[in-house]
Amino acid sequence: MADLQGVDMAVLTQALRRRWRRDAMVTAVTALSAGAASDTFAVDVALNEELRSLIFQRSPSGGPVEGALPKYVQARLQRRVQEHGLPVAEVVCILEPEDRLGQGFLMQRVAGESLAPKYLRDDTFAPARAVMAQQCGSILARLHALPTDLFKDLPLARASTTDQIARLEAMYRGFDVDLPVFELAFSWLKRHVPPPVGTALVHGDFRSGNFLVQPAEGIVAVLDWELAHIGDPLEDLGWLCVNSWRFGNWRLPVGGFGDREDLYAAYQAAGGHIDRPAMWFWEIYGTLRWGLSCLQLAHQHLSGSVVSVERAAIGRRVSETEIDLLHLIDKGTI
């Protein structure tokens, strides 16, 4: 993690009074994480009659990752998806430049476990794990069923699968590294582009680690909408099955907690369409995409834009995606 810049409580109080409630008083700000796409803080707010727990999310100091939405777009998208019944934290207010807090927004803090190793291993979460693959299938089917017209006023990327591959390849070429396995994966992907099963709002980062999980209920909120775009909906299902998000539980391909068949069945039961050869493609695409993210994060360290031992070390996770790509291309699954 890169270092988090502090947030001034008085400045945040002023912003909340301007944008949300005139009786707001920030009583505590705690840095939670500095991710590739966001810096995240827990914010406690006292109102006249009650206490509220919020999350403040803003663009990271090193700049957002490739393809990430500006925070005000992410916030408006989250709001709209939540209004249509998906499990998303309610956006409280969107900050403006005059608030002097960077690009960001505040949302309700939903209670739940976000650390995947915890909900994947603790016995208390066993009931959650039993239902999460089905939940993922039905959440994604409902998301993908939303008409894309709902989002037409938001500047979301809209690209064909071929264009998405080209964008990844341009990013790879920009790093000026020689990775034969990535070359092989690009060659494979270009030969296996599936016909799209439809055009939908794709979450873009729907995976273990981006859910809030309750021990008995399972997934109560889906986080991190900054990579949302319009595209082939099966991208979300493939990404969810990438080996890195199984956190070692490789026998449970859906996020380390479930089976593909349960995911697919729930997706289809809720109106989604599954194309099995396309799933192979999207798992390979997702694995390569994660490999490129590792390269990008390591590049931030090497170029000096975000100097961090974590960013440096993540460069050595590229080989994990290489071995997964070879296994996927060779065996057809992982």
Partner 1 sequence: MAIPNAVDLVQAVRRFLEQEIAHDLKGRKAFHAKVAANALAIVERELSHNLPLIEREAYGALLGRQGSAKALRQALCAAIRDGALDDRSPGVLDALKAVTVARMAVDNPKYSTFLRMTSR
Nearer to partner 1, 99 or 322 (CB): 322
Nearer to partner 1, 47 or 312 (CB): 312
Q: At what angle do helices 180-191 and 276-303 cross, to 10 degrees?
A: 150
Cα gap 67→47, rounded to integer Å: 37
Cα gap 318→125, rounded to integer Å: 31
CB of 253 to partner 1, least distance (A): 11
Nearer to partner 1, 99 or 113 (CB): 113
Residue where the block lists tokens 């089917």: 141
- The residue count of the chain comes to 334
**For residues 20 and 90, is the Cβ–Cβ distance under 8 A?**
no
Cα gap 286→65, rounded to integer Å: 16
CB of 4 to partner 1, least distance (A): 8
Q: Which residues bind partner 1 (CB under 8 A)?
A: 1, 31, 178-181, 183-184, 186-188, 191, 243, 246, 248, 250, 309-310, 312-313, 316-317, 319-320, 322-324, 326-327, 329-330, 334
- Amino acid at the residue 157: A
Query: Helix, strand, or coil here: 123?
Result: helix
Nearer to partner 1, 24 or 34 (CB): 34
CB of 271 to partner 1, least distance (A): 33
29, two tokens: 């700000």
CB of 333 to partner 1, least distance (A): 12
Nearer to partner 1, 116 or 140 (CB): 116
CB of 276 to partner 1, least distance (A): 20
